[in-house]
Structure 1
């Protein structure tokens, strides 16, 4: 391979090199299981590295197979570092792209399912990849077809549009993959949308490339975390139009963010919890979720972790008038309790820790005429401590998982109200529009401009992507880093009137949002 690669670089004017189907595939294109490779090269190398014979089958419980998993990772990394050394020695400007992060300039991924895995799949993928590999770019292919046996049949045009847009507005490249030239495709559904997004990106490249997140909230992505808790928090923040980005608390400077959310914060390593504690001491606003007590976050004031209350049927959380006064959400005018369908963490605290919300022990849920509760306990379901100048809150249950699994609006309202009322997290970008509009706030690192992207997801119906329903009169407000001189709608290609408010913010209205729009705020900063 290396000889062929060297000859190709020497003889051809290449722009880049892409490697497909790398690693150790165990299935062919028909899905047939081929098993673990037992060629002489693999057997010899595995024996040299681990002193064992290759495992006979893929069994995660087998320590030999777990060693084989490490073997694959190590050898793939070694291989592409060798590839990188060869290519860069001959042409340092030649781009390398494949499905790994070792030795490449561009990380390759795909979105290749018929309906998509979840609504924010590509926003999540773009943010996580760029977070973990800030010095490499992501080329995530929006795949034209929906599986191998039917490579000439397209997925929904609007699914392709969503995938491309979610990567475009989160700092990743555009990438579309189909079989054969575009003009020979016999299923051309989606090509009009693909052309429009690529045309838009080319026309507005100066505004879309090399931008940074201007998020108000940082969502900690270090892990480990309950997957539904993660997705639920991601979904609530997106639907509630809270501008957020993902961070690695172990390595990044958190003081750049007014508010930090740590999903399953008690499961984070102690050194990461101590970094979060330092953030609070510096004036940050921190929210930790999950039943495991974050014992290394000293500013929370924990004295002793107590056994969590187990998941039981018929349990609730009481929202008292005093709680509503702190949460500042009008939705609680019609809501006095939330259901609890999971464990509730407990701990003993210093006296200055405020306990909000109250746990309602298991109540009868049948027969119907006896469905009522008789006791509201004194056990809080939210703990808050002012640690001047910062503030820290612990929600000792999985509010995100509740929303992801059951979709009750009260859980989303609780998180939103906690951010607004209890933590008093500022909002430098706000949107007056339905939950089906996804918002991202980014800008120029030097402060010359910033923009708010709007992606209309209203066409998503039970996993099937249809054309979005136009949304009219979407209000956008930002508190810019420098005085705004002009506001433009990049997709509509027209200026829009804006109004300066007394608090320093600027607001405007998007007359009609069809599929996507980017509201550009140009500033006076040179």
Structure 2
């Protein structure tokens, strides 16, 4: 039976302070309806219970006394039901108060020297301990026995190695971790520790899903009923303009039929919760989410009255667009024919990501550890960015690999000092790493020579070392062409790579238009995203682009441009796209 969350929905989260327990439920619901949301993520329990809990290890919010009923959750659920709005419970089991921490030290995070992690009077707990492993289920049962909630989100379900101030506290050494871990616990995180923590969290996620089965969905990681992604900004973090799109694509490529929820943060960073995110920046969260098939969600501190962020106007516009075209977003899944695999090398991955985007090659993203879980036969091309050895199973389509992927080098230049001054034929600079391989190929390397002073800049000799190697339907770049493009921005790097990939969408639209393709209940769906506003550490208002032409799949008889509200005639496989503002959506039938 189809569940409610398998249809498109739009959420609004009020992340409540304890002093917000007396909020006007009807006023918030009025706002949500006007906003276009049909689901409300409400702070329910964990650190504070916004209902009269009877569990002795939970804390009732003292400000519930401001409500005649003494029960915010009960009031919200009852009022929302009358309007047909879903209510999901935000739970936070990551911390307990001092009294419970003293009574249950085995529940608490313990650093390598045994110290607890205390922040604003609250003590962090560990997923290996009994609070997560057993008491969590008691809280969920108490809530569901009282209220017909439509789902649960568990905030900050992690091993708490880093606190709100971004202070690193080390690997947990609590009694639960010591008992569960095979061998002595490391002082610093390593591959075994990460595998251990992922295993504990995956097991806990599975047990919560099983416990809630038939009662309510779980919103959490990529193994939950609804995959959760938080789109946010952070002071001091380099902006990757495509973070939301990348994250949603990774989830939808792995499990296309599983809903993804992109909860977009309305404030600029956790220490600045009163400061609104820039509207143009916030718009990208929602726009990138819906283009890749996720459900949009807006997240604020307090209520719309207490924190009327400047970004909420454009958030409401995009949320209502999703509402008004729910038929287009129903069952929207990826339809790209190129797969970009994501590994540890961020610079290589991001450079190839940008190259594909700018040359209008629609692509999906997949984490390398999910390769065994996906049928790669749905892709014509698989791109492997500097991944080392990779097992593609029985995939026999085209492969384009870069860096140290697959080929066995006889020598490697991997530092700035050893690659400085290294060129390929045609004056192509090598940036990052170059691997010498015994294979026939093209784009041969020149030996390094002095690069200064100019009087001594000579002596480059052409070497037999290839910059590209072809083996059947596989093309190898034994150097980091993606990193080179990310760091230098030379189109020669971009075009060398993309020319080998192919699969570009024929169009005369400029490179500032991103092409995202999918299939839904409405047909073949093309999102055209205007990237002209992407600039250093921010998103500026995009400049209008077009009109222009774009090729649509064979057999398409009619195209509807949703933003323009126009039916576009198909002329020998081409459509004339109207001027694009922030974005356009083409539905091909």
TM-score range with shorter-chain normalisation? 0.7 to 0.9
Sort the Cα spacing of 1:72 and 1:459 in 2 relative to 1 into closer, same or farther, 3 A: same
SS at match of 1:160: helix
2:328 matched residue in structure 1: 207
- Mapped to 2, the partners of 1:117 and 1:95 lie a distance apart of 32
Q: 1:8 aligns with which of 99, 124, 143?
A: 143
Following superposition, the deviation at residue 471 of structure 1 comes to 0.9
Is the aligned partner of 1:238 residue 2:357? Answer: yes
Q: 1:279 aligns with which of 381, 395, 411?
A: 395
Following superposition, the deviation at residue 174 of structure 1 comes to 0.7
Q: Which segment is superposed worse, 232-241 or 434-443?
A: 434-443
- Mapped to 1, the partners of 2:463 and 2:171 lie a distance apart of 56
Q: 1:347 aligns with which of 429, 437, 453?
A: 437
Is the aligned partner of 1:195 residue 2:290? Answer: no
Sort the Cα spacing of 1:82 and 1:343 in 2 relative to 1 into closer, same or farther, 3 A: closer
- Mapped to 1, the partners of 2:506 and 2:193 lie a distance apart of 49
Q: 2:403 aligns with which of 284, 290, 294?
A: 290
Tell me if structure 1 keeps the 8 A contact 2:403–2:477.
Answer: yes
2:578 matched residue in structure 1: 511
Tell me if structure 1 keeps the 8 A contact 2:341–2:383.
Answer: yes
Q: 1:226 aligns with which of 333, 338, 345?
A: 345
Following superposition, the deviation at residue 314 of structure 1 comes to 1.2
Is the aligned partner of 1:268 residue 2:389? Answer: yes
Following superposition, the deviation at residue 28 of structure 1 comes to 4.8
Q: 1:406 aligns with which of 488, 499, 516?
A: 488
1:299 matched residue in structure 2: none
Q: 2:207 aligns with which of 74, 82, 96?
A: 82
Following superposition, the deviation at residue 238 of structure 1 comes to 0.7
Following superposition, the deviation at residue 201 of structure 1 comes to 0.6
Gaps of 5+ in 2: 1-135
2:421 matched residue in structure 1: 314
- Mapped to 2, the partners of 1:27 and 1:370 lie a distance apart of 51
Sort the Cα spacing of 1:375 and 1:488 in 2 relative to 1 into closer, same or farther, 3 A: same
Tell me if structure 1 keeps the 8 A contact 2:402–2:476.
Answer: yes
Following superposition, the deviation at residue 35 of structure 1 comes to 6.5
- Superposed CA offset, 1:157-181 (max 9, x none): 1111111111111111111101133
1:375 matched residue in structure 2: 461
Q: 1:468 aligns with which of 523, 528, 542?
A: 542
- Superposed CA offset, 1:361-400 (max 9, x none): 1122111243344422233211124x3xxx2211111110
Following superposition, the deviation at residue 53 of structure 1 comes to 7.7
SS at match of 1:381: coil
Following superposition, the deviation at residue 441 of structure 1 comes to 1.3
The CA RMSD measured in Å over matched residues stands at 2.7
2:229 matched residue in structure 1: 109
Following superposition, the deviation at residue 10 of structure 1 comes to 1.9
- Superposed CA offset, 1:98-155 (max 9, x none): 3x345x3123231221477301111111111223344543222210001222212111
2:177 matched residue in structure 1: 46
Following superposition, the deviation at residue 219 of structure 1 comes to 1.9
Q: 2:567 aligns with which of 480, 495, 503?
A: 495
SS at match of 2:268: coil
Tell me if structure 1 keeps the 8 A contact 2:231–2:264.
Answer: yes
SS at match of 2:267: coil
Q: What are the equivalent positions in structure 2 for 1:379-394 lying under 5 Å apart? A: 379-385=465-471, 387=472, 391-394=473-476
Tell me if structure 2 keeps the 8 A contact 1:291–1:346.
Answer: no
Sort the Cα spacing of 1:440 and 1:67 in 2 relative to 1 into closer, same or farther, 3 A: closer
- Mapped to 1, the partners of 2:528 and 2:251 lie a distance apart of 22
Q: Count residues in correspondence.
A: 446
2:85 matched residue in structure 1: none
Is the aligned partner of 1:157 residue 2:298? Answer: no
Following superposition, the deviation at residue 72 of structure 1 comes to 4.0
Tell me if structure 2 keeps the 8 A contact 1:114–1:146.
Answer: yes
- Mapped to 2, the partners of 1:289 and 1:101 lie a distance apart of 28
Gaps of 5+ in 1: 296-304, 320-336, 420-424, 501-505
